[in-house]
Structure 1
Amino acid sequence: MINLFLSENIFVIHDHGVGGKERISFLQKLEAIIWSAITQSEARLWLCNTVSCIDSITPHEQCELFTDILKSSPRKHLIASQFLQILFDRSPQKAGPIIAKRSLMMRKFFKGNPKRILQWFGNFGGMGEAEHRKGAKAISQFSFVNRDICWEELEWKGKHGQSPAMVATKPHYFLDLDVLQTIENFLENVPDFWSSEELAESVKGGEILLIDSKFFIEQFIHLMYTKNSEDIWAVVNEFLLDVEFSFLCRHLLVLLGESDICLFLNSFGKFLASRKPYMENKCKKSYFRDSQSYWLEVLLATCACCPPLDSLLLTNAVINEGRQIMRLLNDGDHEAEKDGVEELLDTCGNLNPGHHLVLAKECLNMEKSEVVKWLGLEAWVVHYCLLKESDVCESWEALFSTNGIGFRKSRSYSLVDSDGLSSGSDGELGKVKRKKREKRRKKRRKNNFKDRSMEFGDFSELGDTESGIGSWLLSTDGYSCAWGKADLPEHLAKYCFSSWLKWVIFKWFSGSRVS
């Protein structure tokens, strides 16, 4: 039976005849195998997803963190481009006024580009339509107001032009306007149009960004870094205060280099460290069931500087992506790594109290990031071993009892039982009917049953008394969720890790022994 090391405080060290250095050596070998199965880019993506789950940061801290990234040297043009694309997509009305104030930018945007001209200025309303739209509205309004100086610049497709009086009574006559030639005339001869209130009003909503966002991204980057325009940075700050932290992390952090990620996390840690009472209270009240980022928050809050990135990447992988690592090892491309894990566990990976307790003793004098990494790897070993053992209900329930985990059998949530009958059917009659049922109908019923059963909860396994598969409500999460066999190894491994980490957190906050 697997020992999850939940009942004995890991700081109560006994002499079991095994050495902590040997256990660390075993975990180092395991670390090397896992690194050979995952890639750095994959691990960084996982870490960024974990950072995105942190919910203890304020909007102003978030704004400062990402502004520091955008303003850091060397210039982060790739990240700035991605950020501006997000801004344009989610809040175009914030960027529109920046464009409206810059006549040179608009002239450059349209000059020599017939496609852009037609997309923006070719939206005159026909007969019966309410009004002109976009740049067409700006052209018509400006031309009427300033007809003494610009009406002659309007080019018409017919044999003769249209008078202001005629077009005023029949606005649809603007459909006869030669838009391309007219805009070319305005670019050359009517500079006041490009700084006019009419044109500015048409672009303030930001719809013009849809025509060619790449052009405006380049212009905004020039204004941010070359001109250092205050109005641009004001919009950046305003947007950073409003957008979700998780969204920014998932879309921007993954683009950072190693040094910039460390700089970001180091700044993050300073914000967390400034609210030590909050962090202490958080650690005392929860086993962290509801968050995959708690360990990272605690680590950043208690370390003087950001831990080595490789250590964070590996730690996050084994804690939060244990199931994904299992899938990679079972992939045909990683047979060597899987065999290496099997051989390593067969040789020196037994889960006994002696190994675990000496590991705890060895960790007391290590760097905090190393402590969390070794505990995470030890929890991954638990995950791996649980996946290999405990195939039937009785073995899982024995595991719960041995390790002091309270459990209740979950009520069956399937609409039919394992033989395909509804729960109230007569067994013998059902057997006769099943023999007559066609294979096609059986397959369709099976698929419908699976689809309908998932409406009753997020369960990974269906209740099946014949095969010994069931689901349980566990005390590890306050009996709040039914856990099936497929989810139990990962859930219990995470629970073990959070329990072990909770024991050492008090040492960290008290500053005793752990560096």
Structure 2
Amino acid sequence: MVNLFLSEPNWNDIGDSDSAKGRISLLSKLESVIQSFLMSGGRSEARLWLCNTVAGISSVTCRHQCELFMDLLRSKPVKYSLASQLLEMIFDKRPQKVGSLISKKSHPTRISEWFSNFSVSGDGMEHGKGAKALSQFAFVNRDICWEELEWKGKHGQSPAVVATKPHYFLDLDVQRTVENFLENVPEFWSSSEFAESLKDGEILFIDRNFFLDYFIDLMYKENSRDVWEVITEFLMEESFSYLCQHLLITLEERDFCKFLEQLRGYLHPRMEHKDFSNSSFMFEIILSKCSDFGSFDQILLLDATLTKKRELRRLLCDEGGEEAEAETKDIVSQICAIPDHDNSLAAVIKGCFKLKTVEAFKWLVLQSWVFYYRFLEGCRTVESWESLFLKNGITFRRSNTYALLNDDGLSEESGSDLDHGVLKETKHKKKSRKKRRKLGRDNRYKNEFLDFDTTKDTFALQSDSGSLLLSTDGYSTSWSIVDLPEHLSQHCLSKWMRWILAKCVE
């Protein structure tokens, strides 16, 4: 049975150095297997995982998040993909801000379409915003601009006639009229009528790509103060999570690394909470303590094995093929066969005290993933889990609740990620009652459970299977055997991290 190394070792006696070297050698082989997969088919998936993990970091202030993204936008070479994506977000969420800027800047002939939406309904004229602005300005300022109106008929229309028959505006040659206004009626482009028509930003949707290019030019060619103020305000007001989820995916890997390096200086995780069950919080802790991030590949590996244990294993099984699966299983078996005296992991943990690099923390994260993989393979019954707990000094209580699996191999009470936790015992009981089936006329009930596919992450739950309450979280959660591999492997890592953090402050 596996030793989980939950007892703090004697740091003055780190044990067998050969054992530690052998462990790191095997972990390095496992790293190569996972890395080869992440370098090929799984890389785009791993980048998305990393974006979501960074988005889960909670200690970044509004001012700091603004500085982070503004530094990216201002850096050389210009990151056009980032700028374009940010403008798209502003167009969608703050169109009125951008519309107001259009009314203050130059006015390209492309917006002539904005003025062509004259229409008539049963209740009278229903001009669009641009057409309404043009007609209102023309009436109010008819002495300076009426002769610039171009009509499709043989002759023009007088203001008096159009005032009584406003549907005549349908005969206006909008293209030629706008061209005349651009050349001869500069007052219109600075008028309140035109500005009002643009305020809600609806004009942006006439030709979105054109206006994206237009505003990028305002940002980088004209260095428009007004545009940068809108961007700054947007970056201050939106959540860090929203910005990361939509913007980080546009970055080149070297820029992503620079972003993480700068982010490190702003991280001040609230250690009093010590929410080590939250994988994003754990990633935040490691990031804040590291002085050297190494390569982007190492960051992807660290994140995948730390925050996406379940998804990583599924990808390895589905896309890595039988050969990768067999190699992974063999390496995990060899690691778990290393003599398991309490100090055999101490040298690896102690390496994090001073090195403070992703490289150092990586070995511990990989070791926790080894445990996760081992639990999936070797602990398929409540009895096997109880045996593991007894060996490692984890106290437990059996819960009178049961959990069924969904199509993803998760218990119905659990979420898709450990960070969301599982429901409390009372909710298990509530759902359990819904699964009861009536038998016979005497209203007796019996809990019946279906057999599930035992491949990948899915276990076969028998009628005597149940949930367990553990001392690892103060008996606060009822864990099914489906969710235990992720919970317990994360618990082991959190224990080791607490020792490291305690030594770092000594």
Give the distance between the partners of 1:475 and 1:129, measured in 2 at CA: 74
Instruction: Measure how far apart 1:35 and its partner are.
Output: 0.7
One-letter amino acid matched to 1:87? I
Aligned to 1:34: 34
Instruction: Measure how far apart 1:346 and its partner are.
Output: 3.4
Instruction: Measure how far apart 1:498 and its partner are.
Output: 1.4
Aligned to 2:501: 505
One-letter amino acid matched to 2:27? L
Instruction: Measure how far apart 1:266 and its partner are.
Output: 2.0
Indicate how the Cα distance of structure 1 residues 242 and 410 shifts in structure 2: closer, same or farther if over 3 A, else same.
farther
Aligned to 1:43: 46
Indicate how the Cα distance of structure 1 residues 284 and 201 shifts in structure 2: closer, same or farther if over 3 A, else same.
closer
CA contact (8 A) 1:27 1:378 kept: yes
Q: Which moved more, 1:394-403 or 1:243-252?
A: 394-403
Instruction: Measure how far apart 1:479 and its partner are.
Output: 4.2
Give the distance between the partners of 1:199 and 1:338, measured in 2 at CA: 65
Indicate how the Cα distance of structure 1 residues 259 and 171 shifts in structure 2: closer, same or farther if over 3 A, else same.
same
Alignment partner of 1:288 is 2:276: yes
Give the distance between the partners of 1:119 and 1:489, measured in 2 at CA: 59
Aligned to 2:144: 149
Give the distance between the partners of 2:486 and 2:5, measured in 1 at CA: 16
CA contact (8 A) 1:13 1:361 kept: no
Greater percentage in helix: 1
1:347 to 328, 334, 338: 334
Aligned to 2:315: 328
Indicate how the Cα distance of structure 1 residues 21 and 218 shifts in structure 2: closer, same or farther if over 3 A, else same.
same
Aligned residue pairs, count: 467
**Cα RMSD, aligned residues only:** 3.2
Give the distance between the partners of 1:251 and 1:421, measured in 2 at CA: 41
Cα deviation code 1:96-149 (max 9, x no counterpart): 1111101x3x23423xxxxxx445531445341575321011111110011122
Instruction: Measure how far apart 1:159 and its partner are.
Output: 5.5
One-letter amino acid matched to 1:411? T
Give the distance between the partners of 1:428 and 1:390, measured in 2 at CA: 38
Give the distance between the partners of 1:348 and 1:123, measured in 2 at CA: 75
Aligned to 1:317: 304
Instruction: Measure how far apart 1:408 and its partner are.
Output: 4.5
Cα deviation code 1:376-401 (max 9, x no counterpart): 00000000100001111222233334
CA contact (8 A) 2:142 2:159 kept: yes
CA contact (8 A) 1:223 1:229 kept: yes
Alignment partner of 1:225 is 2:231: no
Structure 2: which 5+ residue stretches go unaligned?
403-427
Instruction: Measure how far apart 1:217 and its partner are.
Output: 1.3
Aligned to 2:368: 379
1:92 to 83, 91, 95: 95
CA contact (8 A) 2:30 2:331 kept: yes
Cα deviation code 1:301-345 (max 9, x no counterpart): 334455543332211111111111211221254322212112223
Aligned to 2:60: 57
Indicate how the Cα distance of structure 1 residues 255 and 107 shifts in structure 2: closer, same or farther if over 3 A, else same.
closer
Cα deviation code 1:248-276 (max 9, x no counterpart): 1112112222332222222222222xx5x
One-letter amino acid matched to 1:215? F
CA contact (8 A) 2:117 2:130 kept: yes
Instruction: Measure how far apart 1:157 and its partner are.
Output: 4.2
Instruction: Measure how far apart 1:220 and its partner are.
Output: 1.2
With normalisation by structure 2, the TM-score equals 0.82
Aligned to 1:409: 399
One-letter amino acid matched to 2:245? R
Give the distance between the partners of 1:428 and 1:368, measured in 2 at CA: 66
Aligned to 1:137: 132
Cα deviation code 1:205-260 (max 9, x no counterpart): 11111111211111111111111111111111011011111111112112222332
With normalisation by structure 1, the TM-score equals 0.81
Give the distance between the partners of 1:346 and 1:249, measured in 2 at CA: 38
- Secondary structure of the residue that 1:293 maps to in structure 2? helix
CA contact (8 A) 2:14 2:344 kept: no
Aligned residues: percent identity? 44
Aligned to 1:496: 492
Instruction: Measure how far apart 1:67 and its partner are.
Output: 0.3
Indicate how the Cα distance of structure 1 residues 428 and 26 shifts in structure 2: closer, same or farther if over 3 A, else same.
farther
Indicate how the Cα distance of structure 1 residues 135 and 473 shifts in structure 2: closer, same or farther if over 3 A, else same.
farther
Aligned to 1:357: 346
